[in-house]
Structure formats: C-alpha cells, structure tokens
Amino acid sequence: MRFRVDVAADVDSIPWQQVFSPARGVAYDLIRAQDEALAVELHDHGYAGSSLRPLGLSSPCFRGAGRRTGVYGASGDGSVWFGSPVPRVAAALLAGIAGRTEIRWGTVALRVRGVQLEPTPDHSSGEAVFSTVTPVLVKVEDRFIHPDDSRYVEQLCHNLRHKADVLGLPNDVELDVVGYGHPRKFLVQHAPRHGSTVQLRVHADPALLDALYEWGLGLNTNQGFGWIR
C-alpha cells in the first residue's frame, strides 16, 4: 500500500541539508505512534532478519515553487508519499498520519491538507516502466555509482533480488535503463549521498513489481530516496 499526503509549507524554501535528512525520523515517528515495537525493530535491526527496512517515502515535492539557484523551493501546494509492501508497516504509517494536522520536516512545518490512497497499477504482464521522483542510490563497495556506470544494472538487480528474498517473493529480475537525470549530491545528516533519478523497464514477477512500487528502488528508501512516480 502507498498513499499521498498533500501538504502546505509555511516557508518558501527548505534548506538543502533538510531535503532528505528528516525523512527517516518522520517515517519512524508515524510508525511509533501506532506500533512502538515495530518502530524499534525497524530502526535497530531491520525486518525479518535482514538489515533492509521495507518502507519508502519521498522528500516533499512542491508545485508552483519555481526554480532558484541554491534553494529547494517550497509552496502551499505540495505532497509527500509513503508506502510499504508489508501490511503491518503500511497500516502503521497510514494510521500514524490520521488526524495529524502537521508534519515537522526538520525546521519546516508542513500543514496536512489531505491524505489519498494510491492504487497499485496493473503489473500482471510482468513488465513495468518505473520513473523515480527522487534519486536512486546504488553502491559498488563504498562508492555510489550512476546509471552510466557499467555495473549499475547488475548492482541494482542485486538490490531488487535482495528485496524479493526478504519478502519471500520470486527474485528473477531483469531491467533496462530507459533514461536518467543528472547526478545529484545531497547531505544526509552530514553524510554525502550521490544518485540520479532514473527511468527503468523492469521484468519481474507481478507481485514483486507491486512490492517495488510500494517500497522504492535502490538503497536508503526509508530516507526518501528511490521513490517511484
């Protein structure tokens, strides 16, 4: 399950260092309000014996904010997305936002304007074209790589197969890079993260495609990266 939270910012920009840094804390805060044991498990250990956390979200995306050099524009018309392929996690996220009038995104107040469930597209063909709204993080050893790297597809496939294994789903995955954005660098709690938005054609079991749509692609999805449009 995934859902969209429509928000209005109380400022016209968000500091760059806060675009992604607050995301994980926001997600765990929502879960903790409904299921403290689950929040502790995910934060301290991961899920089902794995270090992976099967939840995703986006950084805030705003319409009508305009582009300004050195500034992440905000407005009164924005959205933040949340999701998880694990019903317990998804239910805690959704229940956690119910009744809230505000999300604190770092130092920025986001007034909640509404919540909308998003239906999962039909993936019965076993093929999907996924476009991300936030950069996808892929690593080789200790280095982030981008879609023009020869190892990118192999490493991302490894990540998706690992997610399938954690969820107990068929892990046969093939993908092709259709397009990608410029490399971007963000600081997340003072640590650099490098990634690119990407458009991929993915061939996999329909249940895994559903799960990826609700979870996201690549590393650190619980920090707002790899969220699918």
pLDDT, tens only, 125-144: 999 999 999 999 999 998 99
CA distance 105 to 107: 6
Instruction: Report pLDDT for 64.
Output: 85
Segment 158-165 shows an average pLDDT of: 97
Which residue carries 């995306």 as its tokens? 61
CB within 8 Å of 26: residues ≥ 6 apart: 57, 103, 104, 105
The mean per-residue pLDDT over the stretch 11-15 comes to 92
Q: Say which amino acid occupies 60.
A: P
For 180-221, what is each residue's pLDDT tens digit?
A: 999 999 989 889 999 999 999 999 999 999 999 999 999 999
pLDDT class of 94 with cuts at 50, 70, 90: very high
Q: For residues 80-98, give the mean pLDDT.
A: 97
Q: Which two tokens stand for residue 20?
A: 């992604």
List the chain domain ranges: 2-118, 127-223
pTM: predicted TM-score of the whole model, two decimal places:
0.95
16-28 mean pLDDT: 95
> Which one of 3.10.105.10, 1.10.150.20, 3.30.465.10, 3.30.70.1890 gives the CATH number of domain 2-118?
3.30.70.1890
Same-fold call for 2-118 versus 127-223: yes
Helix and strand counts by DSSP (H, E) for the chain: 5, 15
What is the second-level CATH architecture of the domain 127-223?
2-Layer Sandwich (3.30)
Judged against a pLDDT cut of 90, whether residue 148 lies above it is answered with yes
Rounded to a whole number of angstroms, the distance between the first and last alpha carbons of the chain is 14
Q: What is the pLDDT of residue 13?
A: 93
Distance CA 173, CA 160 (A): 7
133 touches 20 (CB < 8 A): no
Structure tokens at 15: 């500091």
- For residue 2, which amino acid is it? R
Mean pLDDT of 71-96: 96
* Residue 26 reports pLDDT greater than 90: yes
64: number of Cβ within 10 Å: 10
